[in-house]
Amino acid sequence: MTIICLEGASAVGKTTTAKELSKISNTYIVPEVNLLFERPKDETKTWYLERQLDRWQIARDKQSEYDIVILDGDLFQPLSYNWSFDFKIFNQSLDFIYEFYRKEISKGRIKFPDKYFYLYTSHHKLIYRKENDKTRKRGNFEKHLEIIEPHKRYYEALNQIKPQFVHLMEANKIEENIKVIMDNLPFSTQNHISENVLDHIVEWLKKNKP
């Protein structure tokens, strides 16, 4: 009935938290793009963005069958990620990303989730968890560490735009993560206008440097 998103740095515990939560509740998990789809050799400029539309469609399709649908990673990740690197790494400008999402929102092909849960912890703990997790390679982990602070600032700004939209939570133990999420779930699908949320966060991104 409700669609939430877990976000945070690599190795913070998003996927593990989602999996453990699904064991004790009627929950469906939509994995991140790189786990759901195989990247083509000749990747188009919009390929990754288009896969976020696919993830939203999966979430919507599963919404009637499950009490909770979890997006493991943000559908709008290209905004936060590219901004955190000051749009210097990927061949996508802020205007390009904004125009793509604005058009697809107007078509009803993507929306913001009902609520975000942003997990965070110290650099030391992230490195420790990465080194002791043999199940995933976590490519570009060091690069992800470089943007921890600006990435968190993005979600703090999102929370200012729409109060209580993002629940920031220190991720110490998986069972604690689950309790916080369950205690702070939105009661039902939230009636927010995704166009307004997008417009305001893009305006904030233009005014602020990472």
CATH number reported for the structural domain that contains residue 23 in this entry: 3.40.50.300
Domain hosting 190: range is 2-207
What is the pLDDT averaged over residues 124-136?
Answer: 63
Residue 132: alpha-carbon gap to chain centroid: 24
What is the pLDDT averaged over residues 38-63?
Answer: 95
Residue 129 has pLDDT above 60, yes or no: no
Specify the pLDDT at position 89.
79
Residue 128 has pLDDT above 60, yes or no: no
What is the pLDDT averaged over residues 59-84?
Answer: 96
Give the C-alpha separation, 194 to 56, whole Å: 13
Bridge partners of 170, per DSSP, are 120
Residue 20 has pLDDT above 60, yes or no: yes
Specify the pLDDT at position 11.
81
Count how many domains the chain has: 1
Specify the pLDDT at position 52.
98
Range of weakest confidence among 46-60, 120-134, 153-167, 185-199: 120-134
Specify the pLDDT at position 125.
72
Q: What's the mean pLDDT when you consider all of the chain?
A: 91
